[in-house]
A and B are shown apart, each in its own frame.
Chain A
Amino acid sequence: MAARRVPLVLLACGSFNPITNQHMRLFELARDHMHSTGQYQVVGGIVSPVSDSYGKQGLVLAKHRVAMAELALQSSNWVTVDEWESQQPDWTETVVTMRYHYRRILKEYERSVGMHNNSNLSPQLKLLCGADFLDTFKIPGLWRDDHVEELVGHFGLVCVSRGELQPERAVHESDLLSYRRHNIFHVREWVKNETSATEVRRALRRGLSVKYLLPDSVIEYIHQHNLYTEDSEMRNKSAVLRPLVKQAQEPVKSLDD
């Protein structure tokens, strides 16, 4: 008799500037891991590119970032792109995005619950992220405390470690995260893969090949629209990251990747 598993959806928020194979690996690794706990059945994945008002240096238009993610995920049968966040007039707090998607998922689930009778466990939504994400909780003014509590306490994190970063350390060094550590799932990425969107943009600026780091369709799109040049990287150079302004703390230097 199989134990009943909680239906789980994974949500990844980020710039996706551009989306890379490494981003898509996060979903694969997270799904395998959550399945192996025996408690979850991953039923969906959502890529939610941030809106242009985020103000991060080098961010190209959301319509491009969404289009590229769509191309990249064409061949995936469980991960999709959602443009809700990118279409909001102002930058949206991660927690607000999560609440929106959770409500949507719950509604869909309630509609279809008659068809799937092997589990009447309510679906959950967790935030999928890299280990560097945990460190951002420490940056003054970037997160509201009550949001971190809701994110980690109510929803939960699936955190994929990359490179040298040790997510366990970030959890250990934060009282709030430590308190909620049962709701933070650590996924080890054994393959050392430092491919980042920053590196991809750098290679593109220098006319170097990025083949096999992102899908061919995305590379083609980038060349067609001439995204990622020296000029595009200078966009928002002196801007302050929107969350820092919106959350009305002392102005802090904008985040470098």
Chain B
Amino acid sequence: MEGHSITKVVLLACGSFNPITNMHMRMFELARDHLEDTGQYKVVRGIISPVGDAYKKKGLIEACHRLEMTRLATESSDWVMVDSWESLQPEWVETAKVVRHHYEELLASEQNIDDVDTIKYAKKRRIEENHHKDRDELQLMLLCGADVLESFGIPNMWKQEDIAEIVGRHGLVCITRSNSDPHKFIHQSDLLWKYRKNIHIVREWVTNDISATHVRRSLRRGQSVRYLLADSVIHYIKEHGLYSSESEQKNADVVLAPLQRYTGASSS
């Protein structure tokens, strides 16, 4: 059977998921449709990785709740799942490290089909050896909205080498929201432009702006959020009394972890 090989893709979404909404879940569906439509990819898995509490974003509630809500929301999906690794780390973890971690895990699980050798260092060596070879067969891509892409430009938010690793060695699938122009943003960044082939822009023709911020606001005001998020998630929120004026004030005076970490570091 002649033809190009199809690259298997795993989509990884990092974020607060505070709480997870139908829009987050839609991103996966849109990304999968888009990539498979090119004929070059087969999306085999989606991973949602909620950020740890140490991120210190205003209004961020405990990771244990955000994990459980995400688990509930993904129950009806046969390919998207939640992963707790990032949220369990004691310090905030750079997205590039999360990508790296999941990529290594994926390679390892592919290797271990016949593999009996469980010695850690041998496994690591094998992963590194096979790294370049497997790139064509399995790719991990970061799934995000245009706002994340544009956050690459915020001073001290990202290390340049991390951006290079994500878009250079892996890939980015970016769902455009109504009011942004990601192509222009890529054009204006030499780094992004260099790796433009690895950046997939997905136009969301039907605007679906269900932001978690809006959902939290509605919840605070006792307004219905039905049909914006999964019923099971709404039920969980009510059961645990999440999202109040108090919870929204959490971390109000605290500096976001990446900004704290990188302030003073020069950006190229």
Cβ of B231: which chain A residues have Cβ within 8 Å of it? Answer: 75
B214 touches A190 (CB 8 A): yes
A194 to B205 CA separation, bound complex (whole angstroms)? 9
Asked if residues A192 and B25 are in contact (CB atoms below 8 Å), the reply is no
Please indicate the chain B residues that have their CB under 8 angstroms from the CB of A32 in the complex: 223-224
Give B211's nearest chain A residue, CB to CB. Answer: A191
B223 to chain A, nearest CB (A): 5
Asked whether, in the complex, the Cβ of B178 is within 8 Å of the Cβ of A192, the reply is yes
In the complex, B228 has a CB within 8 A of chain A: yes
Q: Does B76 contact A (CB under 8 A)?
A: yes
Known A-B contacts A208-B33, A209-B32, A212-B29; the reply to A193 vs B208 at CB < 8 A is yes
Report the separation of the CA atoms of residues A211 and B24 in the bound assembly, to the nearest whole angstrom: 11
Residues in B whose Cβ lies below 8 Å from that of A22: 227
User: Which residues 206-232 in B have Cβ within 8 Å of A in the complex?
Assistant: 206-211, 214, 223-224, 226-228, 231
Which residues on the A side are within 8 Å of B211 (C-beta)?
191
The reply to whether A25 and B228 contact each other, CB–CB distance below 8 Å, is yes
Do the beta carbons of A212 and B26 come within 8 Å of each other? yes
Instruction: Give complex CA distance A19, B25 in Å.
Output: 19
Decide if A173 is an interface residue (CB 8 Å cutoff): no
B37 CB to nearest A CB, Å: 8
Is B22 in the interface zone, CB < 8 Å from A? yes
CA distance A190 to B218 in the complex (A): 10
B33/A211 in contact, CB under 8 A: no
Query: Which A residues lie within 8 Å of B227 (CB)?
Result: 21-22, 24-25, 28
The residues of A that contact B23 with a CB separation of less than 8 Å are 212
The CA-CA distance from A192 to B177 in the complex, in Å, is: 11
Question: Which residues 184-221 of B sit at the A interface, judged by CB distance below 8 A?
Answer: 205-211, 214
Q: Which residues of A contact B33 (CB under 8 A)?
A: 208-209
Question: Is B25 within 8 A of A31, CB to CB?
Answer: no
Contact with B along A16-37 (1 / 0, CB 8 A): 0000011011001101100000
Distance between Cα atoms of A192 and B228 in the complex (Å): 12
Q: Does B30 contact A (CB under 8 A)?
A: yes
A216 adjacent to chain B (CB < 8 Å): yes
Q: In the complex, are the beta carbons of B178 and A216 less than 8 A apart?
A: no
- The answer to whether A216 and B223 have CB atoms under 8 Å apart is no
Given A212-B22, A212-B25 in contact, is the A191-B210 Cβ separation under 8 Å? Answer: yes
Is residue A110 contacting chain B, with contact meaning CB distance below 8 A?
no
Pairwise interchain contact A209-B30, C-beta atoms closer than 8 A:
yes
Contact indicator A195/B208 (Cβ below 8 Å) = yes
Q: Is A150's CB within 8 Å of the partner chain B?
A: no
Across the interface, do A21 and B178 meet the contact criterion of CB distance under 8 Å?
Answer: no
Residues 181-205 of A, flagged 1 when their CB comes within 8 A of B and 0 if not, give: 0000000001111111001000000
CB distance from B5 to the nearest CB of A (A): 23
Which residues of B does A touch, CB under 8 Å? Answer: 22-23, 25-26, 29-30, 32-33, 76-77, 178, 205-211, 214, 223-224, 226-228, 231
**7 interchain pairs (CB within 8 A)?**
A24-B227, A31-B224, A190-B214, A192-B178, A199-B205, A212-B22, A213-B208
Pairs of residues from A and B, 7 with the lowest C-beta to C-beta distance, nearest first: A28-B224, A209-B29, A21-B227, A212-B22, A192-B209, A194-B207, A212-B25
